[in-house]
Structure 1
């Protein structure tokens, strides 16, 4: 997972991720990664609407958000 997080941070992409909290609950979150340090990273969480710190080990899956532009002809 660390490679996907670093790649998204480098390209400033939004990420959809499945995250497991310390209590074992799982949530789907969309985040914008702000800072990566060691085994954690800081990101703006659109679910909680605030900046949060996440542990790399607790990220179950991470996918970059791909925006498709639609053109009306």
Structure 2
């Protein structure tokens, strides 16, 4: 709802990434995906993307949602 809420949500999601990348993910493939995961924020919208092979494409799709269509 607010910038502060988004900041709090981003911190929670980053903690999730850190926990999984530090051994919470049991399988090698998922561990690598968590190590490459990112928390993206645009205004009050926050996303955690942990996709492995599709990481960059999904990050780009998230960012595109916030570009103005002039």
Give the TM-score normalised by structure 1: 0.25
Structure having the larger proportion of residues in strand: 1
More relative contact order, 1 or 2 (CA 8 Å, 6+ apart): 1
Structure having the larger proportion of residues in helix: 2
